[in-house]
Structure 1
Amino acid sequence: MSDATTIEVRTGEELNRELLQTFIQQQIPQAPKGELQIRQFSAGHSNLTYLLQIADWEAVLRRPPLGPVAPKAHDMEREYTILSSLHPYFQPAPKPYLFSDDESIVGSPFFIMERRKGIVLDTKFPNEVTYTPELGRKISQLMVEQLVHLHQVDYKKTKLADMVKPEGFMQRQLSGWIGRYERAKTDEVRGVAELTDYLTKNVPNSAAPTIIHYDYKLNNAMFSHDFSEMTGLFDWEMTTVGDPLADVGAAMSYWIQPNDPDLLKKGLGAPPVTVLDGFFTRDEFIQMYADKSGRDVGSIDYYLTFAYFKLAVICQQIYYRYRKGQTTDQRFAKFNVFVENLIQYALITAKK
């Protein structure tokens, strides 16, 4: 990741540099001798991700957030296993070096993976990039093509075949995310009962299962400096085998377009670059996915509705941690408003 994406480690999220340096030089043969430097990647609202540097050698460390975490969430060993088995078949997946459950080193289980370099896009382009609508379409197409490519990987050739049960995926997802919402609930939110009732009564028949990233969004992707390829795809903790349209729906819940209401566009701050002229609309993205994958996308509105609910639950879990004092990060102080907005927007989508 480009240096512009890293910051000094946030107060309270520091790692024990001496312990970690000793561990790295004992466990990673390609790491040179020398002083370990640690910076933190600024993006993301969940797992903590750090840049490790010793001389010219670089790697990335991922660990769960501080404080109690939701059951089965932030499973570092699972994410490490997914990357280990998927990396040979899907180039954007970084190669992991090792996993450790020794909590004495950084305070939790963690894994270390290779560092990929390139451009990560979020709310603006780097100063050195001259944006044109043609570039927006090029990036949009890359996002579609790589999602199709991921869904073409035969999961039975990977360790995911032993880790998942694809049958009944959407029913399990629905009950699981409703349960997560109830456990993280802090306030009564208008429309939740109506939304969960709609989702429960309208579960579509799933397509043949595929590997799904399930957090596929622009700021989890990295591009070469000429935007000719995707050089990295990150945050694989939600990856599983299931309905590929659930992956498309999740991707589209993050894909903001210029005519979206402000409650959706600005819920997490400045809108993403996908609002710029040239980027695909959600309909264009979905249509190209259908054309390139050959899948029927007729029920996509259900999956998009579910994705907005799922995103609301993720934000509610983060807000719960903030309300309980498990994090003091002020970025999360207004997440309750965003949760309510997402629930309302999901209801609008359901009624299309």
Structure 2
Amino acid sequence: MTQIDQAADIREGEELDVAAVDRFMKSAIPDLTGEPVIRQYPGGASNLTYQVDYGDRSYVLRRPPFGKIAKSAHDMLREARVMRALKPVYPYVPDIIAICDDHDVLGCDFYVMERLKGIILRQDFPEDLELNEADTRKLCLSVIDKMVDLHRVDPRAAGLDSLGKGEGYVQRQIGGWSDRFRKARTDDVGDFEAVMAWLNDKMPNDIAQVVIHNDFRFDNVVLNPDNPFEVIGVLDWEMATIGDPLMDLGNTLAYWIEADDEGPFQMLRRQPTHRPGMLTRKEVVEYYMEKSGFRADNFDFYEIYGLFRLAVIVQQIYYRFYHGQTSDKRFAVFGHAANYLEKRCKRLIEESSL
């Protein structure tokens, strides 16, 4: 059995009130006994995820980041509601155990869900997961298949048709992310105006209105430790909505870094897409379109959109670091990352036939 993903020590400044967590957990799960052991998952630069153990019973607590955050961001209650609605029609969603909107408990909204014990592929394969090239490809296809399955969910049947805002998803995304970038820009980062103008000029119409994850990556997928080709869970539903499936795929490809990509892009790699056997970005698009039936003659717009959106997310986090709203040293280089992503977007625009 390959090593199961485990939480680690809690980062300084992100500790939880153990007594408050204990009181809430025991009110939500009356047969819990003993004292909780709380640890933190190391991944993620947005919402914070903790493992809460009572002996051999293990749960996961999700809360927003500490410090000042945008009013509309990090909506824990919405995320939990989406997961509860999706669970009956998309079984890879973890069960929601309890939701808390009482800020007297932890000072924020949060929720508790079941812990799915499995493998999570972060920057590299676990040391004891040995896959040859053919098996790596099989694993890769299995994960993409779960994205295709999500895009086949009927939003109305799931009771999620009100989650989105209807037609015009592409237009709203370009306008919204452009506005967010301008508000988060710092003096040491480029203005992205040429990139935003190109995206605004080249916007296609929505190709469909489906349930989309908006952060579908390997490190949000849980694999069966006894059979790593089997996906048993999909995590992090904060940005899920009803929207265009190719925009969702563009978001995924922004993190899909290949073995022969240039050094600055390699520095951003957070998942093992560089491994021999992993599909290339081009192959991912071709496979997805073949399996899903959704098509675009030219994918350039969606790829560049995904990179721009990633740059905005990076810049929003860097803005908090730049202005002293967080002291997490991981974020010190995020301004350099945003500058690189602007250069990459501009180069792809120059090469595009759109």
Match of 1:23 in 2: 24
Match of 2:119 in 1: 119
* Unaligned runs of at least 5 residues, structure 2: none
Match of 2:276 in 1: 277
Once the two structures are TM-superposed, the CA of residue 159 in structure 1 deviates from its matched residue by 3.6
Q: Hey, what's the Cα distance between the residues in 2 that align with 1:272 and 1:293?
A: 23
Q: Hey, what's the Cα distance between the residues in 2 that align with 1:157 and 1:74?
A: 26
Alignment deviations for residues 93-139 of structure 1 (CA, whole Å, 9 cap, x no partner) = 11111211111212211011110011111222112211311122012
**Is 1:245–2:246 an aligned residue pair?**
yes
Match of 1:178 in 2: 178
1 or 2, which has the higher helix percentage? Answer: 1
Match of 1:105 in 2: 105
User: What does 1:41-190 correspond to in 2, within 5 Å?
Assistant: 41-187=41-187, 189-190=189-190
Q: Hey, what's the Cα distance between the residues in 1 that align with 2:159 and 2:347?
A: 39
Q: Hey, what's the Cα distance between the residues in 2 that align with 1:189 and 1:198?
A: 19
Q: Hey, what's the Cα distance between the residues in 2 that align with 1:27 and 1:272?
A: 35
Alignment deviations for residues 76-108 of structure 1 (CA, whole Å, 9 cap, x no partner) = 011001100001111221111121111121221
Letter in 2 for 1:27: A
Letter in 2 for 1:237: E
User: What does 1:192-207 correspond to in 2, within 5 Å?
Assistant: 192-207=192-207
Letter in 2 for 1:267: L
Partner of 1:118: helix, strand, or coil?
A: coil
Q: Normalised by the size of structure 2, how large is the TM-score?
A: 0.95
Once the two structures are TM-superposed, the CA of residue 166 in structure 1 deviates from its matched residue by 2.5
Alignment deviations for residues 28-59 of structure 1 (CA, whole Å, 9 cap, x no partner) = 24x52111110000111111100011122111
CA contact (8 A) 1:118 1:222 kept: yes
Q: Hey, what's the Cα distance between the residues in 1 that align with 2:79 and 2:271?
A: 26
Q: Hey, what's the Cα distance between the residues in 2 that align with 1:158 and 1:204?
A: 27
Match of 1:5 in 2: 6
> Which deviates more, 184-193 or 143-152?
184-193
Once the two structures are TM-superposed, the CA of residue 223 in structure 1 deviates from its matched residue by 0.8
Once the two structures are TM-superposed, the CA of residue 198 in structure 1 deviates from its matched residue by 0.2
Partner of 1:22: helix, strand, or coil?
A: helix
Partner of 1:161: helix, strand, or coil?
A: coil
Alignment deviations for residues 133-162 of structure 1 (CA, whole Å, 9 cap, x no partner) = 112201210122111100000011224212
CA contact (8 A) 1:2 1:117 kept: no
CA contact (8 A) 2:5 2:117 kept: no
Partner of 1:72: helix, strand, or coil?
A: coil
Question: Matched residue pairs, number?
Answer: 349
Match of 1:316 in 2: 315
**Is 1:224–2:215 an aligned residue pair?**
no
Q: Hey, what's the Cα distance between the residues in 1 that align with 2:173 and 2:302?
A: 11
Partner of 2:89: helix, strand, or coil?
A: coil
* Unaligned runs of at least 5 residues, structure 1: none
Structure 1 residues 328 and 188: CA distance shift in structure 2, 3 A? closer
Structure 1 residues 92 and 57: CA distance shift in structure 2, 3 A? same
Q: Normalised by the size of structure 1, how large is the TM-score?
A: 0.95
Segments of 4+ moved more than 3 angstroms? 1-5, 188-191
Once the two structures are TM-superposed, the CA of residue 23 in structure 1 deviates from its matched residue by 1.2
Match of 1:335 in 2: 334
Match of 2:300 in 1: 301
Match of 1:344 in 2: 343
Q: Hey, what's the Cα distance between the residues in 2 that align with 1:187 and 1:258?
A: 32
Once the two structures are TM-superposed, the CA of residue 191 in structure 1 deviates from its matched residue by 5.9
Letter in 1 for 2:249: V
CA contact (8 A) 1:98 1:112 kept: yes
Match of 2:324 in 1: 325
Once the two structures are TM-superposed, the CA of residue 2 in structure 1 deviates from its matched residue by 6.3
Match of 1:209 in 2: 209
Letter in 2 for 1:177: W
Letter in 1 for 2:11: R
Once the two structures are TM-superposed, the CA of residue 4 in structure 1 deviates from its matched residue by 4.9
Alignment deviations for residues 227-283 of structure 1 (CA, whole Å, 9 cap, x no partner) = 231111111101000000001101111111112111211136xx6311111100011
Structure 1 residues 5 and 57: CA distance shift in structure 2, 3 A? closer
Once the two structures are TM-superposed, the CA of residue 220 in structure 1 deviates from its matched residue by 1.0
CA contact (8 A) 2:5 2:120 kept: no
CA contact (8 A) 1:189 1:340 kept: yes
Q: Hey, what's the Cα distance between the residues in 1 that align with 2:329 and 2:40?
A: 17
Letter in 2 for 1:311: L
Letter in 2 for 1:262: G
Partner of 2:53: helix, strand, or coil?
A: strand
Partner of 2:162: helix, strand, or coil?
A: helix
RMSD: 1.6
Once the two structures are TM-superposed, the CA of residue 60 in structure 1 deviates from its matched residue by 0.4
Letter in 2 for 1:15: L
CA contact (8 A) 1:5 1:42 kept: no
Once the two structures are TM-superposed, the CA of residue 18 in structure 1 deviates from its matched residue by 1.0
